[in-house]
Structure 1
Amino acid sequence: MNVLVYNGPGTTPGSVKHAVESLRDFLEPYYAVSTVNVKVLQTEPWMTKTSAVVFPGGADLPYVQACQPIIPRLKHFVSQQGGVFIGFCAGGYFGTSRVEFAQGDPTMEVSGSRDLRFFPGTGRGPAYSGFQYNSEAGARAVGLTLPDGSNFSTYFNGGSVFVDADKFDNVEVLATYTDHPDVPSSDSGDGQSERPAAVVLCNVGKGKVLLTGPHPEFNVRFMKKSTDKHFLEAVVEKLQAQENDRLKFMRTILTKTGLNCNNDFDYVRAPNLTPLFIASAPGKRNFLEEMESNLVHHGAHENDVEQYSELSAESDSFHFYKGYISSYDAASTSLLHKEPDEVSKTLIFPGENEDVPPSRYTPNFDMSEYFRHLNSQNTLGTLLLYGEVITSTSTVLNSNKSLLNSVPENTLLHVGTIQVSGRGRGGNTWINPKGVCASTAVVTMPLQSPVTNRNISVVFVQYLSMLAYCKAILSYAPGFSDIPVRIKWPNDLYALSPNYYKRKGLKLVNTGFDHTKLPLGDVEPAYLKISGLLVNTHFINNKYTLLVGCGINLTSDGPTTSLQSWIDILNEERQQFNLDLLPAIKAEKLQALYMNNLEVILKQFINYGAAEILPSYYDLWLHSNQIVTLPDHGNTQAMITGITEDYGLLIANELVSGSSTQFSGNVYNLQPDGNTFDIFKSLIAKKVQA
């Protein structure tokens, strides 16, 4: 499920960053945390696949102006669908019934009703004086008192007090301000509540709403970067001493909304990056030498003091070492306690008598095991770039052209065990934990086929790559063909939901998996996404250079399911038939089989075109004879019958009104409109035949 953080008019970059990173720390891998804009919330079918929508700090009035069209959707999401709304500071004001901000100050005053009305009363602020927009001048470490009487301090900068919160039946006060606010916290008596509410949880229909005045989501690690000495001494140092209390509080309030949180505080920090190791398949060391030579050509030069070469690439700087054992300590030490997206990345080439790094440096990926399963005739994957903790297998190559241009054609596979800046469609980012294997293959393709002289459409690479991955899984070992995985167009891999499987009383062992026996209308409840694919295209030396990035749930079930879970389910059935058990799946072998299959499929496609590949793709996709609705053609019903061989568009035959089998003769070509949530609820249809 998704947790969507609003990033549009009204937000500040710092507030968005703190909200996103903090929520990822606590919620991933159970939820995919990403940013969205108003257009996404207004036009895409996000509600059925989203657990929470979050509005971070910033300014409430621009929220009101920009988000007016989505107010009904937000209210329906919470009250009718049981979703969660979270508002930090400005987002907290936005979720009230009335805002009273800086009353009497003509330069800042904002007063008026609010349409969300999740909190029945007024959000009044700033709770403490001194606030200035776009400044830390009024920021402070504000004391909060919890229901059990304990206290801690958290970051505050202009937030509200929720007036008379303890008088509403649907509101639970999760924290009060320890010191009385500078504005009235009650509309009765002397204007001060005995429990001035700083953080509240509201029950709204079927859903929950969490609103805060202060910023418990703000991470000290990021605030330490401030250049304001007074802010560092007066605020950050005090918050640092109480960071564990903040973490406990954040986990408590997120759990109160019904969200599933991580329990290990060691997870709540960005792990240190580790060195990247590069190695070659046996007999292919010439590719390493070629890459080293290319790096020099693209600007890598010896550091006069340190024992490495350095390259200032387009987005990152790199330090290149020689010798796994001799360089490891220096390469790893340089990465300690540094921000992953800012530190120079370290990459170690093998020394003269080294083939792969010692296993103690790569405990989660056996590079020798990978090469043992790689076809000796392969070009693809013969260079392996591996890191235990990396930023992103895709971004490090995609954002640094001089590094990418140094890679010999059709050789490199980049694999990482933990990604701290994983990338997906639409710019979504996340942390990939252990159990989610991430990889990016560098594929080079000509503009024209050397056999047919026809132009090559690179759009097919996403289809071919996911086909290769699916084949790698199903051929991993005898019995793996029973694993119920199928391709969802255009480039996602789905597995049958274990819950659906058990609820329907299905059996796979000795029967085989035939997805066509499942109702096509059950695709959503029946299947869960376990892998996604992202292709970035470059044009280098009059050829296409494609970065094919893929992450797959091997052993991590959050937030969906994993291949290992299906192996365990099948083994339970195999025991009943006294059959040999399936082996545990290993990333090394799977990645090698993926490269083996992709090498063959790409050659077939380049030489003979899409017609050579599509029958295999159809065997493993979910969509043969699926009926879709075309909203821009009067909600016409059409049946998917294939993919065009030129541009890879879906072919849909229009059905006679009221029939699910008879065709009208009209044919449409379908393409996605950029929708990242449910591709089949938002398709662009072009009529091509009458």
Structure 2
Amino acid sequence: MNVLVYNGPGASEDSVKHAVRTLRHLLEPYYAVSTVSARVLQTEPWAAKTSAIAFPGGADIPYIRECTPVLPLIKKFVSRQGGAFIGFCAGGYFGTSRVEFATGDPNLEVVGARELKFFPGTGRGPAFRGFRYNSEAGARAAKLKTEDGDELCVYYNGGGVFVDADKFDNVEVIATYADPIDVPFSEDPGSPNGAAAAVICKSGNGKVLLTGPHPEFVPHLLQKSLDHHYNDHVVATLLKDDQKRLKFMKDALTKLGLHCNSDFKDVQAPSLTPMLIAAPGQPEKFEELKQNLIHLSNPSNSGYLVLEGENDTFNVYDGLKWFESAQKALVDQEPEEVAKCIILPNTIQDLPNKHITPNFDMAKYFSSLKAKTNIGSILMYGEIITSTSSLLDSNKSLLKCFPQNSLLHVGTIQVSGRGRGGNVWVNPKGVSASTVCINLPMRSPTTNRPVSIVFVQYLAMLAYCRAILGYAPGFEDLPVRIKWPNDLYAMSPDYYHSKKMRLVGKGHHGQKVPLNDMEPAFVKIAGLLVNTSFNNDNYSLLLGCGLNVTHEGPTTSLQAWINILNKEREAAQLEPLPPIEIEKLLAFYMNELNHLVEEFLANGTDRILPEYYKLWLHSDQIVSLMDHQNVRAKLVGITEDYGLLIAKELYPGTNAEYTGTTYHLQPDGNTFDIFRGLISKKAT
């Protein structure tokens, strides 16, 4: 299940960063924590696969302007569907029935009703004087008193108090301000109760957490800024209570009904590690890469080259002897801000020792890569990186240094992974995170026909599917299939057990389920993100993919299915399937992708689409076209020119008689809940 953090107008960049970081620390691997825009909330079917939605700090007036169309969906998600809403500071004000902020101050005053009304009373603030937008002037370490009488300090900057919170039957006060505040916290001047700083509200079937201060802020991420109001003492105070802060947040999230991990005390934001380049057996490509890096970089006084990318700075080291010093330069540095380190091998055949890359065996990858495979013939690997996709997409000068159709970028852990719709997440260990760069001409060198690059996403998913099913004998029984257009799904183990299925020896035919069971039967294990640019009459495509290989949360993994099938195989007295190795799987993926791209450029889609159809989940699926008066239509394939989904309209009351009307649906121009048979045109 997902936990979504709003990231759009109104949300401050720092507040989003802190909210995502803390929620990930406490909720992974049980939930996938990612950011989301108002447009995605309005157009995508997010609610059915989401446990909680959070609005971080910032300003709630822009929230209203941006999210008004979404508010009924959020209220329904909480009150009817039993979801959770989390509001920090501005998000806390946003979740009340009325806001009274800086009353009487002509520069700051915000007063008015709010639509969500999760808290039935007023959010009033700032609780402490001195607030200024985009400033640390009003920031402090606010002391809170919890329900059990414990005290802790958390970051505060402009948050409010929940007026008379103790008087509402659906509200539980989980923390009060321990110090006197500067605004009335009750309409009763003689009220003996405390000033509510954080509350849990019941709303229909769901629950809501609202806070005035920022218990989600991570002290060590409060980097000193150019703001002269920045106070080192505030951060020092917060650091002393950081374990109490995490416990408070864990208790609050548990009250919402969320499942927190048990070892959060040991979770720390990981430091980046150097990215190592290897290209054994590719002397010409390696030399081209090296000369391009030298040409675009400037020498430093410390012996390495400095490449200024469009978004990041890269320190380029010549030789593995630099690994330790490069690694030290990255320790305890903010991943998005520190200069990234790239290390070239001493010679073309050099591969790093296993102790340098304990989670990825480069030699194993290259031994499984076919000699004729060009795609992925240069590997750039880092144990802990920002994002394989965004690092390349946002630094075209680095990307252009690599020879065409050669680069595969792999990371064991991504701390700033990117997904569709601007989503951001951490890819933990056990998720294969990779981005491959493909260059395609405008026209086929064989047929001279225009190349439709939309098909690359289909080629990539087909290649990954083929790599998995052909990994070793017996892997053809793994229930892995393609969800249109570019997601990889596996059967849910719960569905498998509930139906008492048996798959060994049956291949694809043993995995068929009723079309109306597709959503409970299959769950997502991988998704593809494609970034495209155009340069010198060539398309440059970055295909980023994260695949659950051994990591269980939040759905299932390939290894989980290997274990399931091995129980069947043991009962049938068959040899067990081997554990899946990420290095070999990625090499097989590159081999398959290289072959499919060559086939596509030479012969188009004639030979590719029939195989794609065998491995997708939508053959003969019936859908309702919401932007065409809900007419029913059957999915019959994909157009061979622009890769559009083909849906033939059905006569009312039939599942096999066509009216003669055909619809073509765009993969990126329509939003759909395809398993539920709903497809509608996206709002622009």
- Deviation string 1:14-37 (CA, Å, 9 cap, x unpaired) is 323322333233333433333333
Q: Which residue is equivalent to 1:34? A: 34
- Does the alignment pair 1:306 with 2:305? no
Q: Which residue is equivalent to 2:239? A: 240
Which SS does the other structure have where 1:348 is aligned?
A: strand
| Matches for 1:266-285 after TM superposition, within 5 Å | 268-281=267-280, 283-285=281-283
Contact map agreement 1:295 1:402 (CA 8 A) in 2? no
Amino acid at match of 2:362: M
Amino acid at match of 2:457: Q
- Distance in 2, Cα, partners of 1:544 & 1:134: 41
Contact map agreement 1:98 1:122 (CA 8 A) in 2? yes
| Matches for 1:217-366 after TM superposition, within 5 Å | 217-228=216-227, 231-265=230-264, 268-281=267-280, 283-297=281-295, 299-303=296-300, 305-324=301-320, 326-352=321-347, 355-366=350-361
The alpha-carbon deviation at position 643 of structure 1 amounts to 0.7
- Does the alignment pair 1:663 with 2:658? yes
Amino acid at match of 1:117: K
- Does the alignment pair 1:681 with 2:678? yes
- Distance in 2, Cα, partners of 1:655 & 1:77: 33
Q: 1:191 to 1:95 in 2, by over 3 A?
A: farther
Amino acid at match of 2:613: Y
Amino acid at match of 1:629: S
Q: 1:521 to 1:402 in 2, by over 3 A?
A: same
Amino acid at match of 2:180: H
Unmatched runs of 5 consecutive residues or more in structure 1: 686-690
The alpha-carbon deviation at position 230 of structure 1 amounts to 5.0
Amino acid at match of 2:243: N
| Matches for 1:8-407 after TM superposition, within 5 Å | 8-188=8-188, 190-228=189-227, 231-265=230-264, 268-281=267-280, 283-297=281-295, 299-303=296-300, 305-324=301-320, 326-352=321-347, 355-407=350-402
Which SS does the other structure have where 2:131 is aligned?
A: coil
Q: 1:391 to 1:665 in 2, by over 3 A?
A: same
Which SS does the other structure have where 1:252 is aligned?
A: helix
Which SS does the other structure have where 1:579 is aligned?
A: coil
Which SS does the other structure have where 1:14 is aligned?
A: helix
Unmatched runs of 5 consecutive residues or more in structure 2: none
The alpha-carbon deviation at position 354 of structure 1 amounts to 5.0
- Distance in 2, Cα, partners of 1:676 & 1:355: 47
Contact map agreement 2:279 2:349 (CA 8 A) in 1? no
Q: 1:10 to 1:550 in 2, by over 3 A?
A: closer
In the superposition, the TM-score normalised over structure 1's length comes to 0.94
- Distance in 2, Cα, partners of 1:20 & 1:674: 28
Which SS does the other structure have where 2:409 is aligned?
A: strand
- Deviation string 1:314-357 (CA, Å, 9 cap, x unpaired) is 22221221222x11112111111211122111111111385210
Q: 1:35 to 1:674 in 2, by over 3 A?
A: farther
The alpha-carbon deviation at position 674 of structure 1 amounts to 4.9
How many residues of Structure 1 are paired with residues of Structure 2 in the alignment?
680
Using the aligned pairs only, state the percent identity.
59
The alpha-carbon deviation at position 648 of structure 1 amounts to 0.5
In the superposition, the TM-score normalised over structure 2's length comes to 0.95
- Distance in 2, Cα, partners of 1:37 & 1:590: 33
- Distance in 2, Cα, partners of 1:676 & 1:250: 35
The alpha-carbon deviation at position 170 of structure 1 amounts to 2.0
Contact map agreement 1:224 1:232 (CA 8 A) in 2? no
Q: Which residue is equivalent to 1:416? A: 411
The alpha-carbon deviation at position 516 of structure 1 amounts to 6.9
- Distance in 2, Cα, partners of 1:153 & 1:92: 18
- Distance in 2, Cα, partners of 1:618 & 1:373: 28
Contact map agreement 1:313 1:401 (CA 8 A) in 2? yes
The alpha-carbon deviation at position 114 of structure 1 amounts to 2.7
The alpha-carbon deviation at position 106 of structure 1 amounts to 4.5
Contact map agreement 1:531 1:553 (CA 8 A) in 2? yes
| Matches for 1:498-513 after TM superposition, within 5 Å | 498-513=493-508
- Deviation string 1:97-152 (CA, Å, 9 cap, x unpaired) is 23333334454343333332211222222222232333322221111111221111
Which SS does the other structure have where 2:87 is aligned?
A: strand
- Deviation string 1:72-91 (CA, Å, 9 cap, x unpaired) is 22211111100001111121
- Distance in 1, Cα, partners of 2:361 & 2:680: 43
The alpha-carbon deviation at position 66 of structure 1 amounts to 4.0
Q: 1:501 to 1:404 in 2, by over 3 A?
A: same
Once structures 1 and 2 are overlaid, which stretch shifts more, 119-128 or 488-497? 119-128
Contact map agreement 1:180 1:192 (CA 8 A) in 2? no
Equivalent of residue 431 in structure 2, options 429, 436, 439: 436
Which SS does the other structure have where 1:564 is aligned?
A: helix
- Distance in 2, Cα, partners of 1:270 & 1:160: 29
- Distance in 1, Cα, partners of 2:407 & 2:134: 45
Q: Which residue is equivalent to 2:544? A: 549
Q: Which residue is equivalent to 2:474? A: 479
Q: 1:107 to 1:342 in 2, by over 3 A?
A: closer
Once structures 1 and 2 are overlaid, which stretch shifts more, 264-273 or 363-372? 264-273
- Does the alignment pair 1:672 with 2:671? no
Q: 1:168 to 1:444 in 2, by over 3 A?
A: same
Q: Which residue is equivalent to 1:688? A: none
- Distance in 1, Cα, partners of 2:610 & 2:176: 63
The alpha-carbon deviation at position 576 of structure 1 amounts to 0.9
- Distance in 2, Cα, partners of 1:416 & 1:658: 51
Once structures 1 and 2 are overlaid, which stretch shifts more, 622-631 or 9-18? 9-18
- Deviation string 1:187-226 (CA, Å, 9 cap, x unpaired) is 33x3444332211111211111001111111122332223
Which SS does the other structure have where 1:514 is aligned?
A: helix
- Distance in 2, Cα, partners of 1:9 & 1:279: 42
- Distance in 2, Cα, partners of 1:405 & 1:648: 28
- Distance in 1, Cα, partners of 2:306 & 2:108: 50
Contact map agreement 1:323 1:354 (CA 8 A) in 2? no
The alpha-carbon deviation at position 268 of structure 1 amounts to 4.2
- Distance in 2, Cα, partners of 1:37 & 1:106: 31
Q: Which residue is equivalent to 1:642? A: 637
Runs of 4+ in 1 over 6 A off after TM superposition: none
- Distance in 2, Cα, partners of 1:97 & 1:330: 55
- Distance in 2, Cα, partners of 1:104 & 1:531: 53
Contact map agreement 2:275 2:342 (CA 8 A) in 1? yes
Contact map agreement 2:35 2:425 (CA 8 A) in 1? no
Contact map agreement 2:486 2:527 (CA 8 A) in 1? yes
